[in-house]
């Protein structure tokens, strides 16, 4: 992992921790803030990937996957933006769904890593499982208690945890294949 | 390529080119040192960091993905391990930023190879060894570029090893794993490669990392789709390529010794290797990840003298204690390495490509590099 990657991971982790704290402390505006942040992130990521496709990746074997990823990211950004007009319950469902999906992806990637004998599969699996459990807990408590505050606390706690694990992984030793 | 070819096979080629045992030892030592001369080593012996010919795992790990670091990577890997074949290659419809990477793809018998060998002329054994490392790697590392690039160096699931099977070959899908501490398993076709990262400038996409060490094994025959190849399959026949590398080294070393008046592309001294051809072929085709013992035995049979194993510290005391470092073995090695790096960087820059950095001709020294 390069220094810039470590810095990015650390900054990203701190932002997640701050977002989690805001989520717990400011229940009125927190959903909108988070949705806005998510939209900006997805837009920038999607546009960057699309530029990469048209300048470089369109010429490579299997390069279309970069285009598909960029289109999906931009679609997701636009869809996320439309959610701001809905009530907080729908936003919670969406955020919880997105959180669960991210957890599921982590679990699937951990299986892939395990298949490839990569030693980091355990941490990936634990992180993914935790995210899924948090998402389920937030959804169930919200539905059972008929409250938007409880899932907000759980969700905020989950964000703080993700931020901390992100910061921790930034300082983890990584190894690179030596090419000669 | 690894120590088996860069050290022991280079010794054999030098011996067949007419060098004495002691000269052969210096040439092969220098050829192997290219894979060890990192900035870390140079700091240790207080030598100029510019002379780095490789980067260690830790150095690569801590690389910052800024322009200067990427240029440093490209200068090292393109100059010594992935010599670009055609700095003016054209791919229809590709923008400049793609061409800059595409033009760094390594291949054999290039203009830069001729310049590399000629640059080593009359510079002694260390320069000859460096040139032989570069030459040999053009055969092993062809089709990959010495700069981090996802769109050039990536490989995908279409990767098959061609395993000899009596008269023909059996195609076996290569299973790549990403555990750096795991060993390659040629019997079961399991090889370690670098992680898939769709970041264009990730060091995971440097050189042949995505193909693992298959290009470094002389026995390997495989077919795959190179990322830059427009879905055209490449069949890599390492035994044949390594034999060409060996015979081209003999020819190049004869030129450096003065027994050939010129060094031309696509010429191989097969006659000098003829007596040992079957033995060499046997070593090249043997399914093993380290052929040091076999090459060493062959070299000792050729010269009748024992070949001392590579010792990285062999010349370090001589260098650190010398008042005139330029006349030590490592002094001549670092001077030759800097000259090679400057020459390649200059040619890349002159082609309009700044991936290896900016190169300005300052002066022209007699017998030295002109960059």
Q: What is the ipTM of this complex?
A: 0.83
- Candidates A70, A103, A95; CA nearest to A151 is A95
Contact B117, B262 (CB under 8 A): no
Among A9-18, A84-93, A133-142, B200-209, the least confident range: A84-93
**Is the pLDDT assigned to residue A141 strictly greater than 70?**
yes
Give B209's contacts in chain A (Cβ within 8 Å).
177, 179
Give me the residue spans of the domains in chain B. Answer: 3-148+239-350, 152-237
**Mean pLDDT of the B56-60 span:** 75
What is the model's pLDDT at position A30? 65
What is the model's pLDDT at position A176? 45
Scanning every residue of chain A, which has its alpha carbon at the shortest distance from the alpha carbon of B182? A117
pLDDT band at residue A2 using 50, 70 and 90 as cut-offs = low
Cβ within 8 Å, pair B60-A176: yes
Cβ within 8 Å, pair B179-A118: yes
Out of A3, A116, A175, whose CB is closest to B57? A175
Scanning every residue of chain B, which has its alpha carbon at the shortest distance from the alpha carbon of A61? B227
**Is the pLDDT assigned to residue B13 strictly greater than 80?**
yes
Task: Enumerate residues 87 to 146 of chain A having a beta carbon within 8 A of any beta carbon in chain B.
Answer: 113, 116-119
Task: Enumerate residues 38 to 77 of chain A having a beta carbon within 8 A of any beta carbon in chain B.
Answer: 52, 55-57, 59-63, 66
Give residue for tokens 């750096």. Answer: B180
Backbone φ and ψ for B26, nearest 5 degrees, come out as: -70, -40
Out of B54, B206, B225, whose CB is closest to A61? B225
Cβ within 8 Å, pair A177-B56: no
Contacts of B121 by beta carbon, 8 Å cutoff, 6+ apart? B255, B256
Out of A56, A175, A177, whose CB is closest to B98? A56
Cβ within 8 Å, pair A177-B66: no
**Mean pLDDT of the A82-110 span:** 77
Cβ within 8 Å, pair B65-A5: yes
Give A118's contacts in chain B (Cβ within 8 Å).
177-179, 195
What is the model's pLDDT at position A128? 87
Cβ within 8 Å, pair A116-B179: yes
CA–CA separation, A178 and B35 (whole Å): 10
What is the model's pLDDT at position B368? 43
Question: What would the pLDDT profile of B223-282 be if each residue is shown by its tens digit?
Answer: 999 999 999 999 999 999 999 999 999 999 999 999 999 999 999 999 999 999 999 999
Contact B45, B17 (CB under 8 A): no
Contact B62, A171 (CB under 8 A): no
Q: Residue B217 corresponds to which tokens in the numbers above?
A: 């094994």
């Amino acid at each position: 992992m390069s220094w810039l990657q470590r810095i990015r991971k650390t900054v990203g982790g701190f932002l997640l921790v701050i977002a989690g704290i805001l989520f717990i402390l400011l229940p009125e505006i927190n959903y909108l803030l988070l949705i806005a942040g998510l939209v900006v992130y997805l837009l920038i990521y999607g546009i960057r990937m699309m530029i990469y496709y048209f300048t470089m990746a369109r010429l490579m074997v299997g390069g279309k996957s970069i285009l598909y990823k960029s289109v999906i990211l931009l679609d997701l950004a636009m869809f996320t933006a439309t959610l701001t007009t809905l009530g907080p319950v729908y936003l919670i469902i969406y955020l919880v769904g997105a959180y669960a999906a991210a957890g599921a992806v982590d679990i699937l990637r951990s299986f892939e890593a395990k298949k490839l004998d990569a030693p980091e599969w355990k941490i990936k699996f634990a992180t993914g499982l935790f995210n899924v459990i948090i998402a389920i807990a937030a959804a169930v408590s919200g539905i059972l208690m008929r409250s938007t505050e409880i899932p907000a606390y759980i969700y905020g706690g989950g964000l703080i945890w993700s931020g901390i694990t992100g910061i921790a992984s930034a300082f983890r030793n990584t190894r690179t294949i030596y090419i000669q | 390529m690894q120590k088996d070819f860069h050290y022991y096979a280079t010794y054999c080629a030098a011996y067949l080119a007419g060098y004495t045992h002691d000269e052969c030892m210096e040439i092969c030592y220098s050829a192997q040192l290219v894979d060890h001369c990192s900035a870390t080593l140079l700091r240790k012996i207080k030598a100029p960091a510019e002379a780095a010919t490789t980067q260690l795992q830790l150095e690569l790990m801590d690389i910052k993905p800024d322009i200067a670091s990427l240029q440093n990577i490209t200068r090292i890997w393109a100059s010594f391990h992935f010599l670009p074949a055609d700095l003016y290659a054209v791919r229809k419809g590709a923008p400049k930023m793609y061409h800059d990477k595409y033009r760094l793809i390594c291949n054999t018998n290039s203009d830069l190879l001729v310049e590399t060998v000629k640059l080593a002329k009359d510079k002694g054994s260390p320069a000859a060894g460096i040139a032989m490392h570069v030459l040999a790697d053009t055969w092993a590392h062809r089709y990959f570029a010495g700069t981090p690039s996802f769109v050039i160096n990536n490989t995908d699931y279409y990767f098959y090893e061609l395993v000899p099977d009596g008269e023909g070959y059996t195609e076996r899908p290569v299973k790549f794993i990403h555990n750096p501490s795991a060993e390659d398993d040629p019997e079961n076709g399991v090889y370690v490669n670098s992680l898939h990262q769709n970041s264009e400038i990730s060091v995971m996409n440097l050189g042949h990392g995505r193909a693992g060490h298959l290009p470094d094994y002389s026995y390997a025959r495989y077919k795959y789709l190179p990322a830059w190849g427009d879905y055209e399959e490449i069949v890599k026949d390492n035994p044949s390529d390594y034999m060409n590398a060996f015979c081209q080294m003999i020819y190049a070393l004869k030129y450096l010794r003065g027994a050939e008046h010129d060094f031309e592309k696509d010429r191989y001294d097969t006659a000098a290797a003829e007596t040992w051809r079957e033995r060499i072929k046997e070593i090249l085709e043997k399914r093993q990840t380290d052929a040091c013992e076999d090459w060493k035995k062959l070299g000792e049979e050729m010269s009748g003298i024992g070949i001392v194993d590579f010792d990285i510290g062999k010349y370090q005391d001589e260098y650190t204690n010398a008042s005139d470092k330029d006349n030590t073995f490592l002094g001549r090695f670092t001077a030759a390495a800097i000259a090679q790096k400057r020459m390649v960087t200059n040619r890349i820059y002159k082609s309009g490509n700044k991936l290896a950095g900016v190169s300005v001709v300052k002066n022209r020294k007699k017998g030295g590099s002109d960059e």
